[in-house]
Chains A and B, each alone.
Chain A
Amino acid sequence: MLSMIVRRLIVAVPSLIGVVIVTFLLTRALPGDPAAYFAGPAATKEAIEQIRVRLGLDKSLAQQFVLYVGDLARGDLGVSLTTGQTVVTEIENRLPASAELTLLGLVVSMAIAIPLGILAATRPGSIVDHACRVIATAGVSLPVFFTGLILVYVFYYLLGWAPAPLGRLNVFFSAPPQVTGFYLIDSLIAGDGGVFIASLSQLFLPALTLGIFSLAPIARMTRASMLAVLSSDFVRTARASGLSPMTVIVTYAFRNAMLPVITTLGMVFSFLLGANVLVEKVFAWPGIGSYAVEALIASDFAPVQGFVLTMAVLYVALNLLIDVLYGLIDPRVRLES
């Protein structure tokens, strides 16, 4: 098991190297004078020169790359022009907000998609089956920001069930003391039920939006995978041995069917991390997505580069986690010698 993890880690290294190189190239691909862009529209000539020297733009590309990597190793992602804070600090502060939202969205999505896919596969041709297929086709066509806006209109404006889409907490509440940065967890740790309910109600719509968005590929893959597994030889053996239908479907069919679904999760995360940005804009969510968007509008480039790098590293780490999870379930991957 351990050797498998180590092997996956080693495979992840070239990806990380590639990510660092690409983000480096992006900083140098800025049109015009990169130093001017990093210094901002209001900078003086001296300030621009300072930035140029600091960024090493007067040196060769190779030397610049070494400097860049050195900065990264020290955790220096630059400084934001608009806030004056270092990019690393800001990202650290805002990451939990995005993580909480994305994770909850994924949980919602899987909680709907997986049972739907299983039911569709065990009852082919039924209403559930057709519903699953329609949802799978329609789901990939819905722009995520559109879904979010429709939900706001219906649940906030028309029905008044959801609170105003103004961020993580209503103005009447204050954030719980920071332990993990996840308001849901921290409020429970602090024993503050009011804040818990308040955070949950703010999380409801954006998480639902992300959930609806990632529903389709998961439902489709679950259905297809279950269908394939249910007609496989070993399920036939399980039935022929008289095992109870519950055992056959859950212990024999489902576990095997989940393997391709777990692989699909990698792709789903790629979409989710992108959709996160759009959802944060719709719901004024103070995560790293909106951080990057605000910086973009202000032509403040350091945060954007930091954002891209952070997301890419996160994505590589998530893929690694998925591989490990897959290995936990499938011994063939674990035990290959």
Chain B
Amino acid sequence: MTVPALAVENLSVEFRTRSGIVRALENVSFAVDKGETVALVGESGSGKSVTAYAVMGILDAAGRVTAGRAMLGGLDLLAATPQQLADVRGREISMIFQNPRTALNPIRAVGRQIADVLIRHGNVTRAEAPARAVDLLRTVGITDPARRAKAYPFEMSGGMCQRVMIAIALAARPSLLIADEPTTGLDVTTQAVIMDLINELAAEIGMATIFITHDLALAGQRARRIVVMHAGHVVENAPTRELFRHPRHPYTAELIAATPDSAASLDDLASIPGTLPDLRRTDLPPCRYSERCPRKIATCDQPLPAAALGSPHVVACWNPLT
């Protein structure tokens, strides 16, 4: 079995807040193979972004990793020293964010922001960096890159800013890219263009991608495998086609039913009953979906079955759909 690009094992994260401890993530495990595109899907608040931030080591100060490993090649990111992390971030593992315009330094020309990363990671000298930055801008499809390199984020559209972010993230040709809702807030045409760009560049340099989204349909179009999250748990992990044809977790089935696509009429759109449980509770059940689940049985009060490692279709449920 080849070594995956990233293997997250039993990741647990909690946040200290004024109103209590929020158990944001519990026993999250999944792996991303080299060159694979995996989608991390779930409602708002399901813990998708927290997973990414924990892996990257950019959690908020109130957050703490309480257990688990995140193996990037041979390095456990969660146990790495700040120096190791700073070396690896941007070079081996990169991230792009939602709201590209606010994610860029507003008072620094975009060319210089790209050059900063190039100088830091790319074995590029200070003198060469500006030219290389212009090249990168061209690669991500920005027209007239030499002029645009001197522009500031506020002078660019949302789509262009996202391209700049992609350029920054891919400057050092990392082996893994985490894309956190990169197209939310962009218009539909631009969405498609940006996603195409990411896929293209990923294929070119053999980069794996983790694509975080709340939009299951979008995930279905772009990812080879989908990891479904709910309330800080991974509930299902399967190849895309398999997931849509044979969803095994009740939540996944509800998600699919609630996802609008061109064929279904509005009447057929279901909404998922209930709401996310309050993660500050100390009496959370082992399965955090059980309180909203129509298929709940007595066994659901027991701790969930251990994920069968190596199985292509993983589901965390005592009473899965067949």
Contact = CB atoms under 8 A, between A and B. Distances in A.
A and B touching (Cβ–Cβ under 8 A): yes
Interface of A: 124, 231-234, 236-245, 247, 251-252, 255-256, 259, 329-332, 335
A215 to B, nearest CB: 26
A335 B152 contact: yes
A245 B168 contact: no
Given A240-B58, A256-B106, A335 B168 contact: no
B155 A241 contact: no
8 contacts: A236-B97, A238-B116, A240-B89, A241-B89, A241-B116, A242-B88, A251-B108, A256-B105
B44 interface: no
B56 interface: yes
Contacts of B106: 234, 256, 332
Contacts of B56: 240
Interface string B76-88: 0000001001111
B168 A237 contact: yes
Nearest to B116: A243
A233 B152 contact: no
Interface string B158-197: 0000000100110000000000000000000000000000
B58 A236 contact: yes
A288 to B, nearest CB: 37
Contacts of A238: 105, 116
Secondary structure at the B interface, as helix, strand, loop or mixed, is: mixed
A232 B102 contact: yes
Interface in B57-75: 58, 60-61
Interface of B: 56, 58, 60-61, 82, 85-91, 94-95, 97, 99, 102-108, 116-117, 120-121, 152, 154-155, 165, 168-169
A238 B94 CA distance: 11
Nearest to B61: A124
Contacts of B168: 237, 241
Contact of A330 (B107, B116, B165): B107
Most buried by B among A240, A255, A259: A240
A31 B261 CA distance: 83
Contacts of A232: 102
A2 to B, nearest CB: 18
Nearest to A336: B154
A229 to B, nearest CB: 10
Given A236-B97, A331-B107, A241 B152 contact: no
Nearest to A253: B105
Given A239-B89, A243-B90, A255 B103 contact: no
Contacts of B108: 251-252, 255
A237 B89 CA distance: 10
A131 to B, nearest CB: 20
Contacts of A256: 105-107
Contacts of A331: 107, 152, 154
A242 B121 contact: yes
A236 to B, nearest CB: 6
Nearest to B169: A241
B89 A242 contact: yes
A332 B107 contact: yes
Contacts of A245: 82, 86
A247 B116 contact: yes
B105 A241 contact: no
Nearest to B98: A233
B107 A240 contact: no
A330 B107 CA distance: 6
Contact of A243 (B94, B107, B120, B169): B120
Nearest to A329: B107
Nearest to A231: B60
A242 B90 contact: yes
B117 A241 contact: yes
Given A252-B105, A256-B105, A243 B97 contact: no
Given A241-B94, A243-B117, A234 B105 contact: yes
Given A240-B89, A243-B116, A331-B107, 7 more contacts: A236-B103, A241-B168, A242-B85, A242-B87, A243-B117, A252-B108, A255-B107
B154 A240 contact: no
A332 B121 CA distance: 29
A132 to B, nearest CB: 18
B84 to A, nearest CB: 10
Contacts of A239: 58, 89
Contacts of B86: 242-245
Contacts of A259: 107
Contact of A240 (B87, B95, B120): B95
A329 B61 CA distance: 29
B152 A244 contact: no
B81 to A, nearest CB: 13
Contacts of A236: 58, 97, 103
Contact of A233 (B85, B97, B116): B97
A233 B161 CA distance: 13
Given A233-B97, A234-B102, A241 B107 contact: no
A332 B108 CA distance: 10
Contacts of A237: 95, 97, 103-105, 165, 168
A166 to B, nearest CB: 47
Contact of A241 (B90, B102, B154): B90
B120 to A, nearest CB: 6
Nearest to A234: B105
Contacts of A247: 116, 120
Nearest to A332: B154
Contact of A332 (B58, B99, B116, B152): B152
